[in-house]
């Protein structure tokens, strides 16, 4: 154990002294091929002029790229984080030295506690490595870009009138906005299966895609959730949200304008719930700028509209607080959203702990219809809805989960299936499907994790873009 610990310390000291190492940006680049009948072309016509617009475009694009890359590098890790890591390492090193000098004074429980602390620090060190390694290469690349940009600007200022430069820049921005709109339509057109329910169900789940540790940079924040709005308001299609805590409570929530700001931990809104509206459990979601979650006094459902800042609560008379998922406590109500609307699942004493599916009327926040399943909730690790079908998940081993059961609310048919997927960390407290991108979002021991899904499509995509059912 002491030898393993020294390896962690060596990793940490190398990060402190070098700040560099093997690094991969993990970027995913989507490209569309040319020449096929499915291709989409966005044409833009710049104002005719002998002015060297290409040079100005290059300068603007370079400046934006440099700004974004610098923000990412500077936002990776701060002085307070390093100090916190160093304190944890010093404390654990002292504890281990004491144990090595006097091993008879410690029992198995003491050793297990230290092992847990070592694993937590290991996770912190890995996170730190991922965050700051490769900075030297990035900064060298930025230095070259800045040199080229300054040279181009000098040339433009010496050759052309500055007012003309501003006019041409405004013209270019107008064209740029038109191009962005065209690209947006292109994306909508060539993702025809988003929103489609012309399939017979899930057949595959991707490897876990790990974004990072939570906004608090704290592995103690094991409870919570993250994701996207399942029915976003206009101009909020790129928004992400996160809420986490050290216990199964919901006390606050953060909103990020896009994925970059989520990664930079730069929220545009941070809302703290008043004490009498604190939530319990971790299967909450955001839909149409509303937070849906569980409350215990009285035991029931809560809807918080962030547009009006109005709270509503509902009680489902037969629902029981005695049945939660197998891997986490207090998750008596589980909210879910899919292509067909908003749902909540729970168990009752009357059903003997078997899961009940309820469809929620969003305007009235009332239950429209209920379906009784045969699946025992304490035997399930989590569940989610896709196209009106409930998918139940169970833990198979220390690494894998299995989607093992589904119930179709349209046909009232249930069946057992087997679709395995991996966890990133040991435990998770939130698993939800989002119909806007057909991904699963998991809050996994403090980490943001998501998965791509594959479906058994029964109909080929048509030329018409699919539309989400409101």
Q: What is the pLDDT of residues 255-267, one digit of tens each?
A: 999 988 898 899 9
pTM for the predicted model, two decimal places: 0.61
Residue 93 bridge partners (DSSP) = none
Q: What is d(CA 338, CA 387) in angstroms, rounded to the nearest whole number?
A: 6
Residues 272-300 as b or e (16 or more Cβ within 10 Å = b): ebeeeebbbbbbbbbbbbbbbbbbeeeeb
Highest mean pLDDT among 57-61, 159-163, 235-239, 260-264: 235-239
pLDDT at 151: 65
- Which of the pair, 169 or 369, is modelled with greater confidence? 369
Separation CA 28–CA 32 (nearest Å): 13
Other CB atoms within a 10 A radius of the CB of residue 155 amount to 12
Q: Residue 71 pLDDT > 90, yes or no?
A: no
Give the span between the Cα atoms of 137 and 141, in whole angstroms: 6
CB contact at 8 A, 425 and 444 = yes
Q: Give the pLDDT band (50/70/90) at residue 92.
A: confident
CA nearest neighbour of 287 among 339, 213, 220, 358:
339
Cα angle value 243/68/84 (rounded, 5°):
50
- Give CA–CA dist 403/418, Å, rounded: 6
Say how far residue 39 (Cα) sits from the centre of its chain. Answer: 30
pLDDT value at position 24?
A: 32
The two beta strands, 252-256 and 269-272, are antiparallel
Q: How confident is the model at residue 194 (pLDDT cuts 50, 70, 90)?
A: confident
The Cα-based distances of 102 to 9, 95, 107, 351 in angstroms read 22, 11, 11, 55
- pLDDT band per the 50, 70, 90 thresholds, residue 58: low
Residues 6+ apart with CB under 8 A from 437: 194, 228
- Mean per-residue pLDDT for 224-236? 95
State what percent of residues in the chain have pLDDT above 90: 49
- Whether the CB-CB separation of 457 and 198 falls below 8 Å is answered with yes
CA–CA distance, 315 with 279 (Å, rounded to integer): 14
- The arithmetic mean of pLDDT across residues 21-49, rounded, is 42
Indicate the pLDDT class of residue 82, thresholds 50, 70 and 90: low
Tokens of 227: 């994701």
pLDDT over 80 at 137, yes or no: no
Report how far residue 402's alpha carbon sits from residue 42's, in angstroms, rounded to the nearest whole number: 43
How far apart, in Å, are the Cα atoms of 313 and each of 279, 291, 297, 300, 316? 12, 12, 10, 7, 10
- Report the C-alpha gap between 446 and 341 in whole angstroms: 28
pLDDT of residue 118: 77
**Residue 149's pLDDT band (boundaries 50, 70, 90)?**
low
pLDDT at 175 over 90: no
Average pLDDT taken over every residue of the chain:
78
pLDDT confidence tier of residue 21, bands split at 50, 70 and 90: very low
- The region of weakest confidence among 129-138, 192-201, 259-268 is 129-138
- Phi and psi based region of residue 204 (left: phi greater than 0; alpha: psi -120 to 50; beta: remaining): beta
Q: What is the mean pLDDT of residues 232-241?
A: 94
Q: Between 340 and 181, whose confidence is greater?
A: 340
167: which 2 tokens? 């006019």
Q: 255 has which bridge partners?
A: 241, 269
- pLDDT by residue (tens digit) across 293-349? 999 989 999 999 999 999 999 999 999 999 999 988 899 999 999 999 999 999 999
Q: How far apart, in whole angstroms, are the C-alpha atoms of residue 175 and residue 7?
A: 54
Predicted local distance difference test score (pLDDT) of residue 469? 35
From first CA to last CA, the distance across the chain in angstroms is 56
pLDDT of 461 over the 90 cut:
no
pLDDT at 185 over 60: no
Q: Select the more confidently predicted residue: 216 or 88.
A: 216
- Determine the average pLDDT of the residues in 112-136: 67
């Amino acid at each position: 154990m002491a030898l393993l610990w020294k390896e962690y310390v060596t990793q940490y000291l190398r990060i402190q002294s070098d700040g560099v190492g093997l690094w991969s940006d993990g970027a995913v680049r989507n490209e569309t091929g040319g020449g096929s009948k499915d291709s989409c072309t966005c044409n833009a016509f710049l104002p005719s002029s002998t002015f060297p617009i290409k040079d100005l475009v290059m300068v603007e694009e370079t400046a934006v790229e440099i700004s974004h890359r610098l923000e990412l590098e500077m936002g990776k890790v701060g002085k307070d984080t390093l100090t916190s890591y160093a304190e944890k390492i010093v404390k654990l090193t002292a504890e281990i030295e004491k144990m090595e000098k006097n091993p008879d004074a410690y029992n198995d429980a003491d050793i297990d506690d230290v092992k847990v602390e070592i694993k937590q620090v290991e996770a912190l060190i890995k996170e730190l490595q991922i965050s700051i390694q490769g900075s030297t290469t990035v900064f060298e690349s930025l230095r070259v870009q800045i040199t080229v940009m300054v040279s181009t600007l000098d040339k433009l200022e010496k050759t052309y009138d500055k007012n003309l430069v501003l006019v041409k820049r405004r013209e270019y921005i107008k064209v740029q906005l038109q191009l962005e709109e065209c690209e947006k339509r292109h994306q909508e057109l060539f993702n025809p299966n988003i929103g489609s329910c012309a399939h017979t169900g899930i057949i595959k789940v991707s490897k876990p895609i790990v974004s990072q540790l939570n906004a608090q940079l704290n592995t103690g924040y094991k409870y919570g959730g993250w994701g996207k709005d399942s029915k976003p308001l206009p101009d909020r299609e790129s928004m992400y949200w996160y809420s986490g805590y050290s216990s199964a409570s919901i006390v606050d929530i953060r909103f990020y304008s896009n994925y970059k700001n989520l990664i930079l931990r730069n929220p545009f809104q941070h809302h703290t719930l008043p004490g009498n509206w604190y939530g319990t459990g971790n299967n909450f979601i955001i839909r149409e700028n509303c937070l849906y979650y569980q409350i215990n006094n009285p035991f029931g459902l809560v809807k918080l509209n962030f547009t009006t800042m109005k709270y509503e609560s509902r009680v489902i008379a037969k629902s029981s607080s005695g049945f939660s998922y197998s891997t986490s406590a207090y998750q008596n109500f589980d909210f879910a959203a899919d292509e067909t609307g908003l749902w909540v699942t729970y168990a009752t004493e009357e059903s003997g702990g078997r899961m009940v599916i309820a469809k929620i009327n969003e305007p009235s926040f009332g239950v429209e219809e209920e379906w009784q399943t045969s699946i025992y909730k304490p035997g399930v690790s989590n569940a989610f809805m896709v196209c009106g079908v409930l998918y139940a998940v169970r833990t198979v081993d220390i690494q894998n989960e299995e989607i093992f059961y589904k119930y179709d609310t349209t046909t009232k048919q249930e069946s057992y299936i087997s679709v395995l997927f991996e966890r990133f960390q040991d435990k998770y407290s939130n698993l939800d499907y989002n119909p806007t991108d057909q991904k699963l979002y998991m809050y996994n021991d403090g980490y943001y994790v998501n998965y791509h899904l594959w479906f058994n499509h029964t109909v080929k995509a048509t030329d018409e873009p699919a539309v989400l059912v409101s």
